[in-house]
Amino acid sequence: MTQDTVILSIETSCDETAASVVRNGTEIMSNVVVSQIESHKRFGGVVPEVASRHHVETITLVIEQALEEAGMAPEGLSAVAVTEGPGLIGALLVGINAAKAFSFAHDLPLIPVHHIAGHIYANQLEEELEFPLVALIVSGGHTELIYMDDHLSFEVIGETRDDAVGEAYDKVARVIGLPYPGGPHVDRLSREGADTFDFPRAYLEQGSYDFSFSGLKSAVINTLHNRRQKGLEIKKEDVARSFQESAVDVLTKKTMDAVEEYEVKHLLVAGGVAANSGLRQRFESLCSEHDVKLSIPKLKFCTDNAAMIGAVAHHLYQQNHFASLDLNGRNFIDIELFV
Amino acid sequence: MLSLLIDTSNRPLSVALNRDGFTLAEINTTVKKTHSATVMDYIDKLFKMTELKKNDVHRIIVANGPGSYTGVRIGVTVAKTLAYAFGTELYSVSSLFVVAASSSRKGIVAPLFDARRGNVFGAVYNMKSDSFTEKVAPAHMSLEDLQTELSSYDSSVILLDGQEKVSANLEDFVHTVPRISMVEPFETALEKEDIHSLVPEYLRISEAERNWMEQNKS
CATH of the domain at B171: 3.30.420.200
What is the CA angle B51-B54-B59, rounded to 5? 120
Residues B19 and B89 in one domain: yes
| B157 to chain A, closest Cα gap in Å | 33
Contact A325 B80 (CB under 8 A): no
Q: Do residue B57 and residue B155 come from a single domain?
A: no
Is A74–B78 a contact, with Cβ atoms under 8 angstroms apart?
Answer: no
CA atoms within 13 A on the CB side of A11: 35
Note the pLDDT of residue A43.
92
Query: Rounded to a whole number, what is the distance in angstroms from the first to the last CA of chain A?
Result: 25
Residues B88 and B27 in one domain: yes
Mutation choice for A interface testing from B41, B64, B77, B216 by most A CBs within 10 A: B77
Report the b/e string of B78-97 with b at 16+ CB within 10 A. bbbbbbbbbebbbbbbbbbb
> Does A1 reside within a domain?
no
Regarding whether B156 and B187 lie in a shared domain, the answer is no
d(CA A266, CA A213): 26
Within a domain: B116: yes
Residues A22 and A91 in one domain: yes
User: Which domain CATH number covers A159?
Assistant: 3.30.420.40
In a domain, B124, yes or no: yes
The pLDDT of residue A106 is 98
What gap in Å lies between CA A134 and CA A289, rounded to an integer? 17
Same domain, A187 and A217: yes
Q: What does the pLDDT read at residue B218?
A: 65
A267 and A327 in a single domain? The answer is no
Residue B39 has pLDDT above 80, yes or no: yes
| Separation CA A15–CA A303 (nearest Å) | 10
Give the residues of chain A that fall short of pLDDT 70: 1-2
pLDDT, residue B33, reads 87
Pair (A60, A140) in one structural domain: no
Region B37-46: mean pLDDT is 98
Number of structural domains in chain B: 2
- DSSP codes of every residue in A88-106: -HHHHHHHHHHHHHHHHHT
Do B12 and B51 belong to one domain?
yes
A47:B206 CB<8 A: yes
Indicate if B186 and B170 belong to the same structural domain: no
Domain with B166, as residue range(s), is: 98-175
pLDDT band at B155 (very low <50, low <70, confident <90, very high): very high
The answer on A254 and A137 residing in a single domain is yes
Q: Which of B82, B74, B72, B76 is nearest to B2 (CA)?
A: B82
Q: Residue A216 belongs to what H/E stretch?
A: helix A214-229
| ipTM value | 0.97
Does residue A38 belong to any structural domain of this protein? yes
Distance separating alpha carbons of residues B77 and A94, to the nearest angstrom: 6
Smallest CA–CA separation between A28 and chain B, in Å?
Answer: 22
Q: How far is CA B34 from CA A280, A317, B12, B38, in A?
A: 43, 27, 10, 7
Same structural domain, B163 and B190: no
Burial (CB count <10 Å: 0-12, 13-18, 19+), residue A162: middle
CB-based contact (8 Å) between B86 and chain A?
A: yes
Tell me what pLDDT residue A2 has: 64
User: Are B24 and B65 in the same domain?
Assistant: yes
B16 and B91 assigned to the same domain = yes
Containing structural domain, residue A312: 6-121+302-337
- In the prediction, which pLDDT does A151 show? 97
- The span from the CA of B93 to the CA of B7, in Å, is 9
CB contact under 8 A, B82 and A63: no
Same structural domain, B64 and B167: no
**Does some domain include residue B53?**
yes
B88 and B110: one domain? no
User: What sign for the dihedral angle of Cα A243, A244, A246, A250?
Assistant: positive
Residues of chain B in contact with residue A104, where contact means CB-CB under 8 angstroms, are 40, 43-44, 54, 82
- How far apart CA B61 and CA B192 sit, in angstroms, is 9
Same domain, A112 and A137: no
Q: How far apart are CA B73 and CA B8, in angstroms?
A: 8
Residue A289, number of CB atoms within 10 A of its CB: 9
Asked if residue B216 is part of any domain, the answer here is no
Structural domains in chain A (count): 2
What is residue A339's predicted lDDT score, i.e. its pLDDT? Answer: 84
Asked if A42 and B212 come within 8 Å (Cβ–Cβ), the reply is: yes
Phi, psi torsion values for A184, nearest 5 degrees: -60, -35
pLDDT digits (tens, 9 = 90+) for A208-252: 999 999 999 999 999 999 999 999 999 999 999 999 999 999 999
Percent of chain B with pLDDT over 90: 91
Q: What is the chain B residue with the closest CA to A329? A: B36
> A238 and A219 share a domain?
yes
Residues 6+ apart with CB under 8 A from B51: none
A197 and A64 in a single domain? The answer is no
A85 and A136 share one domain: no
In a domain, A171, yes or no: yes
Q: Which of A213, A169, A211, A216 is nearest to A189 (CA)?
A: A169
